[in-house]
Structures are given as structure tokens and as C-alpha cells.
Chains A and B, each alone.
Chain A
Amino acid sequence: MSTKRDSISFLEGHFRGLTDAILSDVKPGEELAINLEAEDSTFLRFNANKVRQNTEVEQNTISFRLQVNGRTVDRSRVIGGDLDADKRGLKTMLEECRAEARALPADAHQVAMKDNGRSHAIFRGKLADAKTLVEDIAGAAEGSDLAGLYCGGSLVRANRNSRGQDHWFANETFFLDYSLYNGNRAAKGVLSDSAWNSEKWNVQLAKTKNQLALLSKPLVDVPKGKHRVFLGTGAMTEIMWLMGWGALSAGAWKQGRSPFKKLKEGERKLSPMFTMRENFALGFTPRFNAFGEVSPETVTLIENGEMRDLLTSSRSAKEYGLTSNHASEQESPRSCEILTGTLPEKDVLKELESGLYLSNLHYLNWSDPVNARITGMTRYACFWVEKGEIVGPIKDLRFDESLLDAFGPKLANLTSTAENDPSIDTYGVRSMGGRKTPGALINDFTFTL
């Protein structure tokens, strides 16, 4: 018998009981927002197609934002699940918020709390237990050197506030993020869904094995310099992730820190082929942010090469006189996509002609932020291609290239199909969100080491 309780049902009742009690304690002149972030997860970590570590985690965090007398205080704590004990803990936390508010100066950029409506969504999944998973995953990969992480369980995001707002979102999902090794050559894959299906895993694994087989050819030592490249969707999502470090943030732009400042201010344009937007219809994450504000279903950020909008939180909107699109306070993309081009997937090698096919990139960072220049490494299945045919895998290369150039005059085409990339971030807690992108064909991409 599994010891897992139905976390979603339990938490919904628990959250309602707690928030009813706390919201009834809110005094005149105070506004309170209450947020819940919860997970009940199984993590199975594999090395050499064996289990290195297995971990179960159940954690639920309640956050308060108290606004009183022009002051803003945020406090949060984990809760254990006992209604009386958790009520006591949260009532103490509310008193601590009040005491701290008395000690703080006014918050000039405070955004008045309001009722951002109600929503309720639960997406049930059908996940397997650890015994099944271990046998299905490692059994199918018998004879392979598999390293990776299975991560599955329920995720909940909810919030209510003293103005009446009430949102609840829960799902049950998993991902299996893995790589297959042949010596030091590796091919990578991610399987994610709301229901575990061993047949889907077998099909996915076979594809990755085929990719790994291509890596058995002799290594090609490609000289540094400028090369035509094809960036696969795995490489493109790494770049999209880095853009989340300030490039698309209205606050970062106003504070002089956005690497897309030249794009925003019209000094530079990207290729007319390049369009990027937040698109909550992709279903990676709820439209409401941590304060219950509901974003438009789509927010066009870059359209045909020109910056249209930046991710703008209500706080930045108030500070700089902008219009909020109800971005998160971090102003990072939550459900971002790059629109497709016209290059059929089957023609990628032919159109690349001679150059580098890069399935993945690694450890990206800004090397010259004013010019949106980034550096990083090639990783996993990366090949040298000549006359439209794969010659062999490459030794890892370091690149250093401006995104204003790579997605500007150097962009030759984007593939006509795009792939979803659900977030596999597990720092502290499992994250929601994701990205969708086509691959990109780019001329004269600069390699330096």
C-alpha cells in the first residue's frame, strides 16, 4: 500500500481552512495576499543505469504579503499539515509582519492590492510507483550507460487575498531527464507527461540510442573561427533561458542592465524572421503570477525582429509609468516561445551544407551584456557536417557571439516545426513553466576556444 496521501485534495481543504482563518484576522487599513507553493515528489537519480539516490519530498510553503500604512512586508514558512498547529504558526507570522511593517520606511512603489478574480484548475495524472519506475526505466535501458533524474508528483500553486481573489492550480506530472553515454560521448533526452507509459519510454529511448550511435564516428577537431551552425531546440532553449536573466525585463531595461537595451531603444533590430512571445496557451503554467494577477494569454515581446513589449510587473509599471502585463516580479519568461520559420526538419542537414549541427549548449552567460554577447560551450550530440552529411562528432568548442547578430543579420532560417521544453528546474522546489522553440540556422557563428 502506498503511503502517499492525495496531496492535492488534502491541501485544497487545508489551504481553505487556513486562509479563511487568517483572512478573517485582517484589520481595517491592512491588505493581505496569501500564496501557496506545494509539491509532493519522488526523485530517482540514476548513474550507470542504476539508482544512485532515491528521495521523497513533501513540502508546502505559505507566503504572506502584508500592505499597511504604505509599507510592504513579505514573510513565508513551511507548513506541516496539522490545521491547528499551522493556524498558530501563520497567526504568529501575521503578527511578525505587522511588527516589521512598523519598523520599515514607506514603499513608494507599492502596488495596491485588488481582486484579480477567481480560477480553479486541477489536472490529474497517472504516475507510477517507485518500484515500477525503477524496473521500467533501468530495465528498458539494460546494457546502456544511462545517467539522469526521474522526478514526478503533484504541484500546486494557489493564492487568495483580502480583496476576495481566489486562485487554485494543481497538476500531477513527471519528467525523466537523462543522457546515454558511450565513453565520454553522450546523447540527451527528456520525456515528460502527466501519465507514465513504459511504451512511450521505450520509443523515446530508442531514438536517443540512435543518436548515440551517430556519435561513434571518429572525432572531428573543428578549428575555432566562424562557422555556419544549426542550433537544435535543446541549444535554443538554453539561449532562451539566458534571456530570462534581464534581457526581457522592463525593470532591468530602466535600470540600465538589460542586454537588449539596444534592441529596445531601436539602435539594433533582429531578423524579420524572429518573433518571440509569452504564450500561456502552451499550458506549462497558470496565467496568474505569485500575486494572483492574470497575464494576457499572449504577450508579444519581439515581433519580426523589433522589440514590442518587455515583461512588465505591476511594480515596474508603477515605478516607471509603464503598463503592466502582469509578469512575475522577477520579470522572467514563464511560458515563452519563438515562432517557427520555413525550414523543414528533414532539410536541416542539406541547408546547413557545411558547418556545425549543435543539439545542446552548456553553461551560458553574458560576456558583453551591452552588446548582448554571450559565451558558452557545445555539449552532447554535436556534429561536423559536410555536403549535407554528418562527418562525425566534434570536440567541445567554446563560442562567444552577440544575440543581436546571431538572431539578426546572421539568422538564415528557423525550422518549420517547434518543440516543447517543459521546465526541469528543481532548485529547492520543482518549478512550473517551459519554453517552445524551433531550431535555427545561423551564419558565421563565432567560436573562440
Chain B
Amino acid sequence: MSSTTLHLNKILPKLTNPIDTKVDWIGLRRVREVTTYRIVRNEIPERNSTFLDEGVMVEVLVDGQFGYAGTADLSESGIQRAFQRACETTKASARRKVFSFTAAERPRAVGGFEGRRSKRLDTASVEEIVSTLIAAGSALKASDKIVSRLSQAILVQNEIEFVSSNGSHTKQEFDMVALDLQATAAEGTQSQTRTMNGWQAQTRQWGAEAIDRATLLREGERIGREALELLNAPNCPDERMDLILMPDQMFLQIHESIGHPLELDRILGDERNFAGWSFVQPKDFGTLQYGSKLMNVTFDPTQTGEAASYSFDDAGNPATREFLIKDGVLQRGLGSLESQRRSGLKGVANFRASSWNRAPIDRMANINLEPGTSSLHDMISGIERGIIMDANRSWSIDDYRNKFQFSCEYGRLIENGKITGVVRNPNYRGVTVDFWNRLAAVGRGDTVEMYGTPYCGKGEPSQIMRVGHASPPALFKGIEVFGGQS
């Protein structure tokens, strides 16, 4: 889609203060994003849609309050009008502000970032992508009992440019692809769906090379076959047993029970009315034994190719890798410069907005479980009675991030150190800190897999965010496991 030429650093000095109060800092953040959905169902094109979203978020600091106004009118007069709105509302809000900030929460930043891509998405052939998705859909048809076959690719080209009155100028570019294949097997009123590692879990920073025909055909055959297996499988048993979570479920476990509770804006109460609060207290940093000594978790936006890699967050804070949890002990939270200032706690570069029309808030980026020393074979062979669960199917956790219940697509029972069969509707539940302290083995480096989601929801007004989670498989001892209704 056609691109707009916009010189933010020339517009910014021309903005005229419309209020009788000093504007202490100004930022302009332009976001341009082209998102294409290519969805094929039962070999018929279901959706070919492209959305060009482009606008500028004007950000001001007035009387210690940061405030925002977003506009898609990219003319100088349009940006001036947004500036005026931001100033007026911010001045009114500053009379009852949560905290008095300074420009120190917007450090000068200069630099750029380009996400990994071998082949730019804007050079990808529509025919080639759609024909590959059709072929992958055909591969899903393991039998006539596969009643629905879906293949889809979400292709995102994103640019974020940021300039500020204290000399920042950053430009970051990302190509992202989220892939999915789904087969639903049905007979009578029973049905089971198998996907490619869970709903759009194949979300990464990569280019058109992601749409690899041979890989998708191979995956399609496996997914179709496993959907049929599930249709005919017994229900997962209801009992307490050892549980191995594969990386495509670990990503959700990390996201919900580590990522969200460590967000400092949640701990500070900003999210209480919507996403919720957190069981983590400020005093827990440096002391809470969050999990067993095998648990090492990093915030790592420097990881090449993972869904949320970048050089600067939306406050201009440079991104660095940091340990959130080391040897099981909580080290630091997911908090931006604003949250760090408010709480006095250590944080990270995670002030991120979903687009030009939303203010930045504390978000996850890439939150990863660092590898351990076990092979998957070692984990399985040491289990007398247990289960392996693959690929997230559903998720639910309380507003303090304590009591969770997660459901997976594909279960495999382990008896006396061996896999003995497939079960359907595998679910498990637990309480966060107790669960992570049951961590008994972590897969070694060669078992790590990288997943992500485009749909992490949070904030008022609400925004979705892309986040990445890399993890090896992990073993948890004595977990409450259960299945579906017979």
C-alpha cells in the first residue's frame, strides 16, 4: 500500500503551544502498519483482507502529567490540532494526576531496529501464499471425518518512528507472520480440533520465508492425523500426576503465570478495573521463591526473530536482556521508566503501545524460560505415571494471577517411563507459586522452541500486543490433571 512521506522532526518545532501553561516535553510517535489476512477454509479462499493503519500519537508533558492525542490526519494542521487536544486534556487531568513525572521518563534516544527477515513481506507473491495455504489445507484431510480444514497466515509490516523535543529520533521496522493450520475431526456430536502448536502460536518476526510449502504440507499431514487420533482417543483421566508441558503450552504458562503478575502497572493498581491486580507485592522482589531453583526467566527483547524484539520501547528506553527470576527467586518486574519511578523498583524497557491510537503501558516483550540440562527422553523415562500436554486450547486465570486452569489439545499418557497412548481433552489446574515450585526438570538448549501470540490483551482503553515466549519442555511433579465429560 502507498506510503506517506512525513517529516516528524520538521513538524515538531512548528507546534504552537495553545495553553497558558508550559509544555515541558513533546513526543510524536508515528506508526504505520499494513496487516494482511490470508485465510483458506476447505480449499476455498475465506478471507483476503489488508488494512493500512497509519497515524501519529502526540504526547505532551504538562504540569507533571503525560497526556496523549492520536490522529490519522497527518497534515501539519492535523498534528497541530491533535497537539492542542492533548494539551487541553492533559492540563485538565494534571489537576488530579497519579504522579508528577518529568522528562527523565522520556530519555533522549537515537537509533534504529530492523527485525529479522530473509524476504520482505511486501515482495511476497499473493498467488504463491494462497496456493501454499490451499495445498496445506488439502494435506489436513486425513479422512472424511475431518469436517473443517483451515489454513491461515497473518502478515504484518510495521514501522514506528519517534521524535521528541529532547532530541530523540528512533525508527524501528518489523515484519511479522502468524501462521496456523487447523483440522477439526467430527463424528456424531463429538469433535476435536488440532492446530499447529495452538491458536496462532507460530507468531514471530520473520518475512515471507515463513510461508514454506514443504513445512506446511508436512505439518498439515501431522495435524490432520492427530485430529483423528483425538476423535477416537479416551478422555484424559482425572488424577494428580506428573506433567510435562511441551514448549507450545509452556508459552502460555509463562505468559499467564509469570508475565502478567510481574507487570508493575498491575502491581501499582492501574489495571485493577480491567485485567486485574497481582499477587506479587513490592516486597517480594529479591525475596520471593517464585519457583524451584531450576527456574530462570528472562525479559529478552534482544532475541533475534522472537515476536517482541526491538531496540527501544515507546518511551525511548533502550532494550536490554534482564533476569526476572534467577534460581527461582524473583528479581525484577516488568515496569517502564514511569512505573519504576512510581514504585522505586527495578524494571525493564517495556513501555509499549499497540498502535498510534493508544498510549504506551507496561507490556511483556519476549519472556523466556532459560534452558536446563534434561533431555525429553530423560524426563519421560523418570516418570511412573504422568502425562505430556501439547498446544494450548483454552486459558483462564484469576485477576491476581493465582488460580489457573489451562486446557491443551493433545495429551499422551506416560506409564512406567514410556508413552502408552493418546488422550483427549487434557486439562490441568494449579496455583502459580505452588505450581512453579513443583518444577522438577527443564529441557536443555536443543529442546527450546520459540512461540508467541499477536493477541495479548490489556489496558484501558484496551489494546492487543504481540509478545514472544521461548521455552524448553518442563516437568512439574504432582499436578491436578483432568479430562472432559464422558
Residues of A at the B interface (CB closer than 8 Å) are: 2-4, 41-45, 47-61, 72-82, 85, 89, 92-93, 96, 100, 103-109, 129-131, 134-135, 138, 147-149, 151, 177-179, 181, 184, 186, 188, 255-257, 261-262, 265, 267, 362-368, 370-371, 373, 375-377, 379, 396, 398, 400, 402, 425-428, 430, 448-449
Q: Are A104 and B359 in contact (CB under 8 A)?
A: no
Complex CA–CA separation, A107 to B46 (angstroms): 7
Q: Tally chain B residues at the interface, Cβ within 8 Å.
A: 95
Q: Are A73 and B357 in contact (CB under 8 A)?
A: no
Q: Are A50 and B277 in contact (CB under 8 A)?
A: no
Partner-contacting stretch, out of B87-95, B162-170, B298-306, B313-321? B87-95
Q: Are B272 and A147 in contact (CB under 8 A)?
A: yes
Closest Cβ of chain B to A250, distance in Å, is 13
Chain A residues positioned under 8 Å from B67 (CB to CB): 53-55
**Taking A265-B189, A364-B396, A375-B396 as contacts, is the C-beta distance between A76 and B48 under 8 angstroms?**
no
Asked whether any CB of chain A lies closer than 8 Å to the CB of B190, the reply is yes
Closest Cβ of chain A to B244, distance in Å, is 20
Most chain B beta-carbon neighbours within 10 Å: one of A59, A106, A177:
A59
Closest Cβ of chain A to B280, distance in Å, is 13
Asked whether any CB of chain A lies closer than 8 Å to the CB of B311, the reply is no
Provide the main secondary structure of the chain B interface.
Answer: mixed
Partner-contacting stretch, out of B52-60, B212-220, B370-378? B52-60
Chain A residues positioned under 8 Å from B68 (CB to CB): 53-56
Q: Are B84 and A3 in contact (CB under 8 A)?
A: yes
Q: Are A257 and B191 in contact (CB under 8 A)?
A: yes
Asked whether any CB of chain A lies closer than 8 Å to the CB of B284, the reply is no
Neighbour of A82 across the interface among B73, B95, B276, B485, CB < 8 A:
B73
**Taking A50-B98, A53-B66 as contacts, is the C-beta distance between A72 and B89 under 8 angstroms?**
no
Q: Are B396 and A77 in contact (CB under 8 A)?
A: no
Closest Cβ of chain B to A160, distance in Å, is 19
Q: Are B69 and A55 in contact (CB under 8 A)?
A: yes
Complex CA–CA separation, A362 to B276 (angstroms): 10
Complex CA–CA separation, A346 to B127 (angstroms): 64
Partner-contacting stretch, out of B112-120, B152-160, B410-418, B425-433? B425-433
Asked whether any CB of chain A lies closer than 8 Å to the CB of B399, the reply is yes
Q: Are A58 and B461 in contact (CB under 8 A)?
A: no
Complex CA–CA separation, A425 to B359 (angstroms): 16
Closest Cβ of chain B to A176, distance in Å, is 10
- Apart from A188-B273, A400-B405, A426-B461, what 16 extra A-B contacts exist at CB < 8 Å? A3-B84, A3-B85, A45-B270, A55-B89, A57-B357, A57-B358, A78-B54, A78-B55, A80-B75, A85-B75, A100-B50, A147-B270, A147-B272, A256-B186, A362-B399, A368-B427
Q: Are B92 and A377 in contact (CB under 8 A)?
A: no
**Taking A75-B49, A181-B272, A255-B148 as contacts, is the C-beta distance between A57 and B70 under 8 angstroms?**
yes
Complex CA–CA separation, A106 to B43 (angstroms): 11
Q: Are A76 and B52 in contact (CB under 8 A)?
A: yes
Asked whether any CB of chain A lies closer than 8 Å to the CB of B44, the reply is yes
